[in-house]
Amino acid sequence: LAGTVRMVEVRMEATEEDRLTTVVVVLAGTVRMVEVRMEATEEDRLTTVVVVLAGTVRMVEVRMEATEEDRLTTVVVVLAGTVRMVEVRMEATEEDRLTTVVVVLAGTVRMVEVRMEATEEDRLTTVVVVLAGTVRMVEVRMEATEEDRLTTVVVVLAGTVRMVEVRMEATEEDRLTTVVVVLAGTVRMVEVRMEATEEDRLTTVVVVLAGTVRMVEVRMEATEEDRLTTVVVVLAGTVRMVEVRMKATEEDRLTTVVVVVRLVTIQTTEVRTDLIVEGKPPGLVNLVRAQQNVRVLSVHLFIAHCPLANLPHHRMGQGLR
């Protein structure tokens, strides 16, 4: 055709179970391909279609597994000279249903994705919505069992995605909650994780101070024998970390305090001192005061027989401030 070879190829395997057909057609002096592949078995059907629109290859692809339990469908459509995809995936078993939908709005791909596991015990739903020409995501995940509930919500505020994520396991023993809040046009995160069992409690708090995320993280294992607490505090506009780890067994008590001190005199000398004292934490303050000529990066203080409950209210905190 038109001085060159144009190929139209058809291949057929006409077995009882399988049929495979490939067609390549010629349009407007170039090769335009329409390819159809079919496996016509009793259980599975797979079809791929590539069509030609406006001088270029536009693809509409449909894949179907038509078994009794599962159905998987993918559709790619053409809008306004470009490929616009609408993809739907469905597993239509008795217990589970999974659906993904990608829609086209205003010349670009706008995605609304919904995933559902409709079992008797569990339900998982993800929704992505379109607002004001961009993808705005509201994602909700729920496991609606009798014991556990897990919910994640992402909301849209002021033209951007603002995320409020709450995760809850509402069992009798355990509760896990994560909250991300929006303050002053940006995402400010307050994350609280709690395992409210009789023996263990784990809490993490991230707070916002002065327009940036300031983290105060507290981790507590309130068993009869062990207590582990980590505190990260904010001092003078930056994150200053005070980490306290305590194993409050009857025999051993170990506390590690790591303090970052920023002094007027900045030198490269790094001081790491391990102290074994019998008494109270002001020994750390005395150590810091004794090192006025160097920059103290970290101090590891090991204190014997110092109850953890007394540390947060001790005058060591005043000395650090």
**Mean pLDDT, to the nearest integer, of 143-162?**
41
Angstrom distance (rounded) from CA 108 to CA 132: 12
Question: pLDDT tens, 101-149?
Answer: 444 444 444 444 444 444 433 344 444 444 444 444 444 444 443 333 4
- Rounded Cα distance, 193 and 179, in Å: 9
Q: What share of the chain is helix, strand, coil (3-state, %, to 5)?
A: 5, 40, 55
Q: What is the mean pLDDT of residues 246-268?
A: 33
Summarize pLDDT for 2-32 with one digit per residue, the tens. 444 444 444 444 444 444 444 444 444 444 4
Q: Which pLDDT belongs to residue 136?
A: 42
Position 320 in a domain: yes
Count: domains in the chain: 1
What is residue 68's predicted lDDT score, i.e. its pLDDT? 39
Please report whether residue 265 resides in a domain: yes
Q: For the stretch 215-225, what's the b/e string if a residue is b when 16 or more beta carbons lie within 10 angstroms of its beta carbon?
A: bbbbebbbeee
Expressed as residue numbers, the domain containing 253 is 224-321
User: Is 317 inside a domain boundary?
Assistant: yes
Average the pLDDT over 64-79 and give the result.
41
Domain contains 260? yes
Evaluate whether residue 272 is within a structural domain.
yes
Q: Name the 3-class secondary structure at 261.
A: coil
Q: How high is the pLDDT of residue 76?
A: 44
CA distance 169 to 175: 5
Residue 264 in any domain: the answer is yes
Cβ neighbors of 212 (< 8 A, separation 6 or more) are none
CA dihedral defined by 303, 304, 308, 312, rounded to 10 degrees? Answer: -30
Q: What is the mean pLDDT of the chain?
A: 41
Q: Is residue 137 part of a domain?
A: no
What integer pLDDT is reported at residue 30 of this predicted model?
46
Backbone Cα Rg of the chain: 32
What is the pLDDT averaged over residues 220-238? Answer: 41
Q: Is 151 a member of any domain?
A: no
E-strand ranges in 81-178 read 82-86, 89-90, 97-98, 101-105, 108-112, 115-116, 127-131, 134-138, 153-157, 160-164
Determine which helix (DSSP H) or strand (DSSP E) holds 287, and give its type and residue range. helix 282-290
pLDDT bracket for residue 91 (50, 70, 90) = very low
* pLDDT tens-place string over residues 280-296: 344 444 444 444 443 33
Segment 226-238 mean pLDDT: 41
Pairing, β 153-157 against β 160-164: antiparallel
Read off the pTM: 0.16
Residue 12: the pLDDT is 42
